[in-house]
Chain A
């Protein structure tokens, strides 16, 4: 079974621009969660989608948004980019919400976003 794929792998943007990142979950998985990883803060939860509905949301400003399509693929959008948005953005998929009873989430390799 193919793993979680994220595109693009690397991205360079300038302040004020917007960006869209894509995540394709493992086949059959309906839950996609997004995390921001930075050296200082570690992994911080952004939001989770399950069956096209946002189920959980982390403590990030409204510039961060996402959506999920009927095929479970998910996109994350960041508008009006700031220097502090430079990070590795990871998505994780699982069959059930938040990993379900087994709590297992499978991570993709991430998209490295650099904001200049």
Chain B
């Protein structure tokens, strides 16, 4: 049973475009929703995260939109650059229960100039 479903699997956008990656979760006990960015040969690195008590969070060009009733959250990358080309993972966790991160399967993003 996949607890966090991520789409699309891959995405190609032009430089300056706004790629959007979507995730849906099932467990309403999740209380922490991070996004990780992974470059080839590197481990995932925390990009941005949100708690369910807010509907949106922005950090630089990265924005998380969160819809608690729909159990969905998404990552938007404004003014995307070739350097943003990486694999992005959404995740969910019940931090209050000290349970491990549950990851989506990842989205490979390519930003072409």
A interface residues (Cβ-Cβ under 8 A, vs B)? 4, 33, 35, 41-45, 48, 55-56, 58, 90, 92, 97-101, 103-110
The answer to whether A42 and B99 touch across the interface, beta carbons within 8 angstroms, is: no
Return B44 CB to nearest CB of chain A, in Å: 5
Q: On chain B, which size bracket covers the interface?
A: 20 to 34
Of the listed stretches B13-21, B56-64, B78-86, B100-108, chain A binds B100-108
Q: List 22 A-B contacts (CB under 8 A).
A: A4-B43, A33-B100, A42-B104, A43-B44, A43-B89, A43-B101, A43-B103, A43-B106, A44-B103, A45-B102, A90-B43, A98-B99, A98-B101, A103-B34, A106-B45, A106-B46, A107-B43, A107-B45, A108-B43, A109-B41, A109-B43, A110-B43
The answer to whether B98 and A42 touch across the interface, beta carbons within 8 angstroms, is: no
The answer to whether A101 and B104 touch across the interface, beta carbons within 8 angstroms, is: no
The answer to whether B102 and A101 touch across the interface, beta carbons within 8 angstroms, is: no
A103 to B32, alpha carbons, bound, how many Å? 7
Return B101 CB to nearest CB of chain A, in Å: 7
Q: Which residue of A lies closest to B6 (CB)?
A: A42
A56 to B95, alpha carbons, bound, how many Å? 13
Return B42 CB to nearest CB of chain A, in Å: 6
Contacts of A90 in B (CB 8 A): 43-44
Q: Which residue of A lies closest to B42 (CB)?
A: A109
Contacts of B104 in A (CB 8 A): 42
Contacts of A103 in B (CB 8 A): 32, 34, 49, 93, 95, 101
The answer to whether A104 and B46 touch across the interface, beta carbons within 8 angstroms, is: yes
Partner of B105, one of A42, A100, A108: A42
